[in-house]
Amino acid sequence: MKPESSKVNFDNISEEQLPIPKHKRKGWGHFLGLYAGEHVAATEFVIGATFVALGATMTDILLGLLIGNLLAVLSWTLITTPIAVETRLSLYTYLQKIAGNSMTTLYNWVNVIIFTVISAAMVTVSATAVRFAFGIPAQLNWYPTNAWFVLIVLAVGMIVVLVAMYGFNAVSNFSKICAPWLFVMFISGPMVLMPALAEHVIGATTLSSWADFMHISSISVWTGINAQGEPGIGLLEVIGFAWAANTITHVGLIDMALLRYAKSRTYGLCTSSGMMFGHYIAWISAGIMGAGTAVIVQKSIVELDPGDVAFQALGLSGLVIVIVAGWTTANANLYRAGLAAQAIFKDHSRTKTTLIVGIVAVCIACFPFVFNKMLPLLTYAGLLVVPVGAIVFTEHFIFPRIGFTRYWATFRNLTHSTPAVASWGLGLAFGFGLNALDLMSFYYLFIPTWFFTAVVYILLSKRYGAAKKYPEQQASLDNYDNQVEQYHQAQAQHEPVLVKKQSLMTKIVNSISLLSLATTLALAFNTMFLSGDVLAYEENRELFFDIGFICTIIYFASAYWVMQQNNKVVD
């Protein structure tokens, strides 16, 4: 620790290693757009179809996804956001203060690998949509079989890398533009394909009531029978899947990296834009789109890929949605990977580490197997990091309440925290041991694993010195924190002011962007409710494809222009 009288030279400390200053904190809009953009990913097409293939019922989906996603929002709000707001640090930096170099380095490497591979998978998905547009053969092997596909991956991937390199603002701004359009697309897709399902089930292209929708969905989408013709998963499995899908970021605390920019704890509720829209509406929409596409192309839903589904539901705009949804998810995860790498290589900037891991991600993305293994990766990655989340939560919230000292490992100048490393290892053994014994649903394993790790960490930490007091070291830390605050106050005086340019032209262009979205929804409404027969449906569907794609181009052009005007710097 620094002596109390020492003056710290912050010019030699990376910005990512310091708490986020007050003048750089973000408002609700940033987080609503960020989470909506990230969690409306190309994988939603796969997951939505997975619930259909697993044989969930209509009731299971409507109720189970609602409960599971609400639990996920509460996990972000009650666990992740409070720690992020109180410390203003990423998990990677905070972990260094409580676990020492050895565990932190190992954990950061785990996260670099996980998020690099996730980013690579999303780049592959985006490239698959481009492949579909140019008629390049599907890549069915674990390795690429077409040179043009590799070139497409490189081109798509470098865009993702460049956005992530510019940091949090670039990631959130990109997601903020995409989120409204993604919402409209995932609402429009089911409306466009529902008449095809209706004609297949009830022999008519129009629905007369909610009962018709429930009947059609129960017969042709969520039937309760899986792909093998057996009874499917139940309500508890759907709830667990929805809750556990993002354990790596909420209970695992990875999203401290994003939520450290939040102005208050309540900003954790902004994750609802991703959960209730991205994981509730989008999964339901994807299931309907998948079932409708299967009817149109006469294939089983398990044989379809995101490009097939999106194109049949949305035309060329569907290919754009796969690309954009892949980008928004890859951006956020590559940003996380860059942060973890920068925490390992402290002498290098986050921009440089993000570039390096981005290049690796793009190279991995050339191999299609990464997307095919996406769901197992997310599932096991969550169980890998949950014990670490339990350790951090315990140190931050439980230790002060039971008389233990927070940051005791740093106060003792330990470079290796045996309690942290041992608790993580025992937590992993416990969680994967329960999985091997098959004592409970895999989706709920993170709960007993979290509690087990927390108890073990308390017991071991007490033995190694956490129950002792360190007044001199605490005073030195307080002095350091005060100097950080003074440093940030000095920085804030030179920070440029961003204001919205309220010119008439900006208002007109913004109105055009909103009108393009409204037109798209109107065309989808026309296709679903005003198609009296099959011929009228086909005409309305083609009209949606043509005009909807034009609206897509107009929206992105106008929304980007408005964003640029709103971010004008005033000297």
pLDDT tens column, 254-275: 899 889 999 999 999 999 988 9
* Distance (Å, whole) CA 285 – CA 506: 33
Percent of the residues in the chain that have a pLDDT greater than 70, as a whole number: 88
Q: Name residue 498's beta-bridge partners.
A: 569
| Greater pLDDT, 420 or 567 | 420
Asked if pLDDT for residue 192 goes beyond 60, the answer is: yes
Q: Which residues contact 455 (CB under 8 A, 6 or more apart)?
A: none
Question: Which residue shows structure tokens 């697309």?
Answer: 185
Pairing mode of beta strands 569-570, 497-498 = antiparallel
CA distance 143 to 463: 51
Residue range 340-396, pLDDT digits in tens: 788 788 777 777 888 888 888 888 888 876 666 666 677 677 888 899 999 999 999
| Over residues 122-145, mean pLDDT | 72
The DSSP 8-state label assigned to residue 315 in this structure reads: T
Helices (H) and strands (E) in the chain, counts: 25, 2
**pLDDT on residue 163:** 72
Distances (CA, A) of 441 to 66, 201, 333, 428: 19, 34, 27, 16
Give the span between the Cα atoms of 353 and 173, in whole angstroms: 21
284-298, 342-356, 469-483: range with lowest mean pLDDT? 342-356
Q: Structure tokens of 327?
A: 């980008």
- Dist. CA 371–CA 403, nearest whole Å: 47
> Are 317 and 549 spatial neighbours (Cβ–Cβ below 8 Å)?
yes
pLDDT of residue 259: 92
Instruction: Classify 545 as helix, strand or coil.
Output: helix
- Closest by CA to 47, choosing from 242, 184, 275, is 242
pLDDT of 547 over the 90 cut: yes
State yes or no: pLDDT of 40 exceeds 80: no
When comparing pLDDT for 227 and 153, which is higher? 153
Confidence label for 4 from pLDDT (cuts 50, 70 and 90): very low
Tokens 């197992």 belong to: 376
Token reading at 31 = 């987080």
> Distance (Å, rounded) from C-alpha 71 to C-alpha 64?
11
Find out whether 532 and 145 touch, Cβ atoms under 8 Å. no
Q: What pLDDT is attached to residue 131? A: 72
Under the banding of pLDDT at 50, 70 and 90, the label for residue 502 is low
Which residues, listed in sequence order, are joined to residue 223 by a DSSP beta bridge? 57
Residue 274 CB partners (closer than 8 Å, separation 6+): 35, 36, 38, 39, 40
Cα separation, 378 vs 13, in Å, equals 33
Q: Cα separation of 177 and 162, whole Å?
A: 17
Three-state secondary-structure class, residue 497: strand
Q: Report helix, strand or coil for 416.
A: strand
In this predicted model, which residue has the larger pLDDT, 46 or 361? 361
Q: According to the model, what pLDDT value does residue 2 have? A: 43
> Of the ranges 156-170, 182-196, 213-227, which is most confident?
182-196
CB burial of 29-55 (b: ≥16 within 10 Å; e: otherwise) equals ebbbbbbbbbbbbbbbbbbbbbbbbbb
Q: Please report the pLDDT score of residue 204 as a whole number.
A: 85
Q: Which residues pair with 231 in a beta bridge?
A: 225
Radius of gyration of the chain (CA): 25
Distance CA(411)–CA(465), nearest Å, equals 10
* Average pLDDT score over residue span 96-118: 83
**C-alpha to C-alpha distance for 192 and 205, rounded to whole angstroms:** 11
Is the pLDDT reported for residue 570 higher than 60?
no
Please list the residues that pair with 26 across neighbouring strands: 262
Q: Name the pTM for this structure.
A: 0.82
| Rounded CA separation 284/274 (Å) | 14
Report the C-alpha gap between 473 and 140 in whole angstroms: 58
Single out the residue of 94, 100, 407, 70 nearest to residue 257, CA to CA. 94
